[in-house]
Structure 1
Amino acid sequence: MMVATANKGGIVSGAIWMTLISVLLFWLPIFGPLLAGVVGGKKAGGVGNAILAVFLPGVILAIVLGLSSTFLTGLPAVGTMMAATGFLFYVINIGLLLVGAIVGGVLA
């Protein structure tokens, strides 16, 4: 007997869906991030997980910017400033994605 299991997703899965859909729908200024947030939030499986999934790409971007800037310049202070700046720019631009993620988390 086969039992079908539902793929609940998770935080990483939701973040990947949000990032992929955001990149594909960049040409829709309002509806692109909103739709990406709804799909990613639903895939994340809940409101808390959806909110974490929204911030996960920003944290990864900050880590990559920090490490690469430190490696290229040899100055940890420059890497820290680049990481903070990258994360700040990400947080400034996720308003509709966050709203969509909360709606998708409620729908999950």
Structure 2
Amino acid sequence: MQPTPRTDTALTQRKRDRDNVVVGSLWMVGLTLVLFWLPLLNGLIGGLVGGYRVGSVGRALTAAILPAVVVALGLWLLLAAFNLGGWGLLAGLGAGLLIVVADLGIFLGAAVGGAWAQAKARRSATV
């Protein structure tokens, strides 16, 4: 008797989507760092590729904001470990805001890449 194939449950589908956001975020950061010698295009290219890999505009923008959130929380936790929680909160918020403002190219690229992936998926679904 052959075992029946298991179908994906909603939980594993959500986990796969979350993994895609993390992987897309890593692609964005990695490509941006590798292309540091293209100051205006590095974030745009990283965001475009990461947004395309994630597959939708909403998840792409989530992947683009994820590094800023991680850095902000990391700074807060690091300084809170030294009993400087208030300064950690201010430093984390400042660094997060700086990353968000400095990486507008990543957000633009992520939105374009996510929209491109959605349009491609819609086109392949109708064909």
TM over 0.5: yes
Structure 1 letter corresponding to 2:72: A
Structure 2 runs not aligned, ≥5 long: 1-15, 118-127
**Which residue of structure 2 lines up, in the alignment, with residue 54 of structure 1?**
64
2:77 equivalent among 67, 75, 81: 67
C-alpha separation in 2, matches of 1:19 and 1:75: 29
C-alpha separation in 2, matches of 1:69 and 1:48: 32
How far apart are 1:75 and its partner, in Å? Answer: 2.2
C-alpha separation in 1, matches of 2:63 and 2:53: 10
Give the structure-2-normalised TM-score.
Answer: 0.75
Deviations 1:10-53 (A, max 9, x none): 21111010010011011101111111010000011110000000
C-alpha separation in 2, matches of 1:17 and 1:62: 20
* Pair member with larger Rg: 2
Identity of matched residues, % = 35
Which of structures 1 and 2 has the larger relative contact order (alpha carbons within 8 angstroms, sep 6+)?
Answer: 1
After superposing on structure 2, the runs of 4+ consecutive aligned residues of structure 1 that deviate more than 2 Å are none
Structure 1 runs not aligned, ≥5 long: 1-6
How far apart are 1:88 and its partner, in Å? Answer: 1.1
What is the root-mean-square deviation in Å for CA atoms of aligned residues?
Answer: 1.6
> Number of aligned pairs?
101
2:97 equivalent among 74, 88, 94: 88
1:12 equivalent among 17, 22, 27: 22
C-alpha separation in 2, matches of 1:64 and 1:44: 24
Give the structure-1-normalised TM-score.
Answer: 0.87
